[in-house]
């Protein structure tokens, strides 16, 4: 069984390595609901704008956690990724987390072929092999490390193939590949570790569901594609 799982993973990643931003050219919007303990508390929406070889991916997100009608945690923000063909050339975001500002300003440096990052948690250079840690692109499943879209911090990751599963979301069935994405550095504090279950729709190559546990059971799930 383990051997079969490894073979399936190799087939998937070999195929996916051919995919790029252009793979999403038929989509204008990807909208996701955010749930905590099975209750919808917010949204995470992506929109795509194209001009020649340039693609701009805009992200708006907001969620509110309440306890006995009192707001105990609130996050609201936006981000914008700009790609020239398949190459990320800039990213910026601003997030308000419980009235605390977080931000990322990233630009591709043509001279040294690296990213220059100025963020609320990290400022410096980064390899262009990093990917922005958003849920619109399946490239997050083939990257060795990701840049936080909220703070600019960089985390190494490992991705393993769990299996093929048929799941139902909002009354619609999807044939998916299920993956586990975790931090490579297991010495990180629990609140800093990556630990996600991710379901990728085989038909569209869109991530349709993400779950994790952190002060409750969280779920990002597909609501609508346009």
Tens digit of pLDDT for each residue in 140-155? Answer: 999 999 999 999 999 9
Domain region containing 93 = 2-225
pTM: 0.88
Higher pLDDT, 189 or 18: 189
Rounded-to-10 torsion of CA 131, 136, 139, 141: 100
Q: What is the pLDDT of residue 7?
A: 35
Burial of 11 (0-12, 13-18, 19+ CB in 10 A): exposed
Q: In this model, does residue 18 exceed pLDDT 80?
A: no
Structural domain count, the chain: 1
Query: Predicted confidence band at 114 (pLDDT cuts at 50, 70, 90)?
Result: very high
Q: In this model, does residue 126 exceed pLDDT 60?
A: yes
Distance CA 15, CA 139 (A): 12
């Amino acid at each position: 069984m383990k051997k079969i799982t490894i073979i399936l993973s190799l087939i998937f990643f070999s195929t996916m390595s051919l995919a790029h931003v252009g793979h999403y050219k038929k989509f204008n919007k990807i909208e996701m609901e955010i749930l905590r303990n099975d209750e919808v508390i917010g949204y995470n929406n992506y929109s795509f704008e194209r001009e020649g070889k340039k693609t701009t991916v805009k992200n708006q997100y907001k969620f509110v956690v309440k306890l006995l009608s009192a707001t105990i945690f609130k996050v609201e923000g936006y981000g914008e990724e700009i790609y020239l063909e398949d190459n990320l050339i800039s990213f910026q975001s601003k997030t308000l987390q419980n009235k605390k500002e977080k931000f990322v300003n990233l630009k591709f440096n043509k001279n040294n072929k690296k990213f220059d990052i100025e963020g609320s948690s990290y400022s410096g250079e980064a390899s262009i092999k990093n990917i922005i840690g958003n849920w619109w692109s399946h490239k997050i499943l083939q990257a060795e490390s990701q840049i936080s879209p909220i703070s600019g911090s960089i985390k190494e990751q490992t991705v393993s193939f769990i299996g093929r599963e048929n799941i139902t979301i909002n009354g619609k069935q999807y044939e998916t590949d299920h993956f586990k994405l975790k931090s490579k550095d297991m010495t990180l504090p629990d609140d800093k570790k990556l630990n996600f279950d991710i379901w990728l729709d085989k038909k569209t190559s869109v991530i349709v569901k993400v779950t994790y546990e952190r002060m409750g059971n969280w779920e990002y799930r597909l609501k609508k594609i346009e």
